Amino acid sequence: MYETARKKYQAWGIDTEQAIKKCGDIPVSLHCWQGDDVMGFEQGSGGASGGIQTTGNYPGRARNGKELMADLEFAYSLIPGKKRLNLHAIYAISDTPVERDAIEPRHFDPWLEWAARRGIDLDFNPTLFSHPRASDGLTLSHPDKAVRDFWIRHVKACRRIAAYLGEKQGTPCLNNIWIPDGLKNPPADRLTPRIRLRDSLDEIFLVKYDKRHIIDAAESKVFGIGLESYTVGSSEFYLGYAATRGINVLLDSGHFHPTELVSDKIPAMLAFFEKVPLHVTRAVRWDSDHVVLFEDETKEIACEIIRNKAEDRVLIGLDYFDASINRIAAWVTGTRNMQKALLNALLIPHDDLKALQDAGNFTKLLVMQEELKTLPLGAVWEEYLARQGIAAGWYAAVEQYERDVLQKR
Ligand code: RNT
Ligand code: ZN
Give CA–CA dist 47/133, Å, rounded. Answer: 15
Q: What is the DSSP string of 303-360?
A: HHHHHTT-TTTEEEEE-----SS-HHHHHHHHHHHHHHHHHHHHTS-HHHHHHHHHTT
The closest-lying atom of ligand 1 relative to the alpha carbon of residue 51 is 7
**8 Å CB contact between 286 and 317:** no
**8 Å CB contact between 380 and 8:** no
Q: Which of 219, 322, 383, 402 is catalytic?
A: 219
Distance 188 CA to ligand 2 centre (A): 27
In terms of C-beta density within 10 A (0-12 exposed, 13-18 middle, 19 or more buried), how is residue 43 classed? exposed
Q: How many C-beta atoms surround the C-beta of residue 185 within 10 A? A: 9
Phi/psi at 249 (nearest 5 deg)?
-105, 130
Q: In the chain, what are the helix, strand and coil shares in percent, each to the nearest 5?
A: 45, 15, 40
Residue with CA nearest ligand 1 atom 3:
178
252 is catalytic: yes
**8 Å CB contact between 182 and 229:** yes
Consecutive 10-residue runs of the chain (409 residues): their mean pLDDT? 98 98 98 97 85 93 97 98 98 97 98 98 98 96 98 99 98 98 98 99 98 98 94 98 98 95 98 98 88 98 98 98 98 98 98 98 98 98 97 94 97
231 sits in which H/E element:
strand 230-231
Give CA–CA dist 327/294, Å, rounded. Answer: 18
264 is catalytic: no
* Structure confidence at residue 288 (pLDDT): 76
Which pairing describes strands 182-183 and 230-231: parallel, antiparallel, or unpaired?
A: antiparallel
* Structure confidence at residue 125 (pLDDT): 98
- Which of helix, strand or coil describes residue 195? helix
Question: What angle is formed at CA 394 by the lines to CA 388 and CA 395, rounded to 5 degrees?
Answer: 160
**8 Å CB contact between 139 and 127:** no
Q: Which of 88, 255, 299, 340 is catalytic?
A: 255
Give CA–CA dist 7/340, Å, rounded. Answer: 20
Angle between helix 394-404 and 327-346 (nearest 10): 160
Q: Which of 37, 289, 383, 402 is catalytic?
A: 289
* Structure confidence at residue 48 (pLDDT): 85
149 is catalytic: no
Distance 65 CA to ligand 1 centre (A): 20
Which pairing describes strands 121-125 and 28-31: parallel, antiparallel, or unpaired?
A: unpaired
Q: What's the one-letter identity of residue 96?
A: T
pTM across the whole model: 0.97
Q: Is 251 near ligand 1, meaning CB less than 6 Å away?
A: no
Q: Is 38 near ligand 1, meaning CB less than 6 Å away?
A: yes
Give CA–CA dist 301/305, Å, rounded. Answer: 7
* Structure confidence at residue 35 (pLDDT): 98
* Structure confidence at residue 341 (pLDDT): 99
Give CA–CA dist 100/187, Å, rounded. Answer: 29
219 is catalytic: yes
83 sits in which H/E element:
strand 83-88
